[in-house]
């Protein structure tokens, strides 16, 4: 970890005071006040701080203790939460090294080897994307991003049926089929959070999804199989979106899927801190992601009902860790109860996995016909 990040002009000369870096909570941070030397104006109101670069748009909003910031009204996931120490706000160094070059590519660039941030004049490269990501006006063709998340993996099998069928295998089978189907769509860019039998930390899945999506329309679909050990008779499929659990069943399912974090290596989560869920939920409501997530869940249920032999258990909600920091419309799909002998047998069959994938693909296609709302991103 560098002790400071130097600031230079494009010609190479140092133009501003270096930004000091320290370690807080196990990760590298810098004082938000240092942004003022880079042309930012900061204002604080309670736990929230706003920042504006050289009096221009965009307005950036950050909240102490949250892993989420708003950039011109769009959510951006931080690698770690912000921190307030002795009444001073500290931001993850990621804001300087990654977010500024991403959001203002003609203004900021970062050289990791030299620990140097280059600050150019505003307007050079304005409107450019990052990594080839299309931007408004660049092309008439709109590309949407689909991130498919096969639940569990590696040493975390998920729920296991009486016949030995493992949730992680069912999820991966459906996810691979869905990836193959949607990859043929010219207007979609499709990703898998895992392509094989490995354990990916829950929090990293949403972070990666948010990075892959960038500024484009996108959805996050996490695939799972349900379980109710005390009832072999319970069966059916249901789709969840992120919100507070309302019923005991919703709380139970959320706790079941969130328990995967116990399988992860120490330190792979957000440094032992839970995100400020209430704040994230509030901001997602402001961004209207909850509304769109609920719509995606409804479409999933409608399409699965055409191919699934079990009952349609409807759209539900809960605080699922895996979709908490995927900053886009996101759902968690429970394709059946692996503790039900009949559904366990069905879910283990390749034909069902293909049918479920085709149903999910059709739901995603229909969703993108309606999303984003008119005028979004303009």
CB 339 within 8 A of CB 163: no
Beta strands 48-53 and 40-45 are antiparallel
Q: Which domains does the chain have, with CATH numbers?
A: 4-119 (3.30.457.10), 144-370 (3.40.630.40)
List the chain pLDDT tens, one digit each, 378 residues: 678 999 988 766 666 789 999 988 788 899 999 999 888 999 998 888 999 887 777 789 888 888 788 888 777 777 778 888 888 999 999 899 988 988 888 888 988 888 899 987 533 333 333 333 333 333 445 789 999 999 999 999 999 999 999 999 999 999 999 999 999 999 999 999 999 999 998 878 988 998 899 888 999 999 999 999 888 999 999 999 887 656 777 666 666 666 655 555 544 444 444 445 555 555 555 456 778 899 999 999 999 999 999 999 999 988 787 887 788 899 999 999 999 999 999 999 999 999 999 999 999 999 999 887 654 433
CB 221 within 8 A of CB 297: no
Beta strands 237-242 and 312-318 are parallel
Closest to 100 (Cα-Cα) out of 62, 53, 144 = 53
């Amino acid at each position: 970890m560098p002790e400071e990040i130097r600031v230079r002009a494009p010609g190479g000369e140092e133009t501003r005071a270096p930004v000091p870096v320290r370690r807080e909570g196990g990760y590298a941070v810098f004082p938000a006040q240092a942004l003022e030397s880079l042309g930012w104006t900061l204002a604080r109101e309670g736990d929230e701080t706003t920042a504006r670069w050289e009096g221009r748009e965009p307005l950036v909003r950050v909240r102490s203790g949250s892993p989420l910031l708003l950039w011109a009204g769009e959510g951006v996931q931080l690698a770690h939460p912000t921190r307030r120490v002795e009444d001073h706000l500290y931001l993850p160094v990621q804001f300087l090294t990654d977010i500024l070059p991403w959001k203002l590519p003609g203004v900021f660039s970062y050289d990791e080897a030299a620990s140097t941030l280059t600050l150019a004049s505003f307007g050079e490269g304005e409107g450019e994307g990052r990594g080839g990501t299309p931007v408004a006006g660049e092309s008439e063709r709109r590309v949407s991003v689909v991130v498919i998340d096969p639940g569990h993996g590696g040493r975390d099998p998920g729920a296991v049926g009486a016949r030995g069928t493992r949730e992680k295998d069912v999820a991966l089978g459906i996810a691979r089929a869905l990836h193959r189907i949607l990859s043929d769509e010219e207007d979609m860019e499709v990703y898998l959070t895992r392509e094989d039998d490995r354990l990916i930390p829950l929090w990293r899945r949403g972070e990666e999804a948010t990075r892959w999506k960038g500024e484009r329309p996108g959805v996050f679909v996490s695939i799972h199989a349900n379980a109710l050990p005390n009832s072999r008779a319970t069966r059916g499929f249901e789709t969840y979106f992120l919100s507070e659990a309302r019923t005991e069943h919703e709380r139970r399912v959320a706790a079941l899927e969130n328990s995967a974090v116990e399988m992860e290596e120490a330190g792979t989560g957000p440094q032992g801190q839970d995100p400020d869920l209430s704040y994230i939920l509030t901001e997602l409501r402001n961004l209207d992601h909850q509304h769109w997530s609920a719509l995606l869940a409804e479409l999933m249920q409608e399409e699965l009902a055409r191919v699934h032999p079990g009952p349609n258990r409807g759209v539900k909600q809960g605080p699922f860790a895996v979709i908490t920091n995927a900053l886009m419309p996101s759902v968690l799909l429970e394709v059946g109860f692996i503790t039900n002998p009949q559904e366990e047998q069905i879910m283990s069959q390749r034909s069902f996995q293909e049918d479920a994938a085709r149903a999910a693909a059709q739901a995603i296609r229909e969703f993108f016909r309606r999303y984003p709302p008119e005028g979004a991103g303009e």
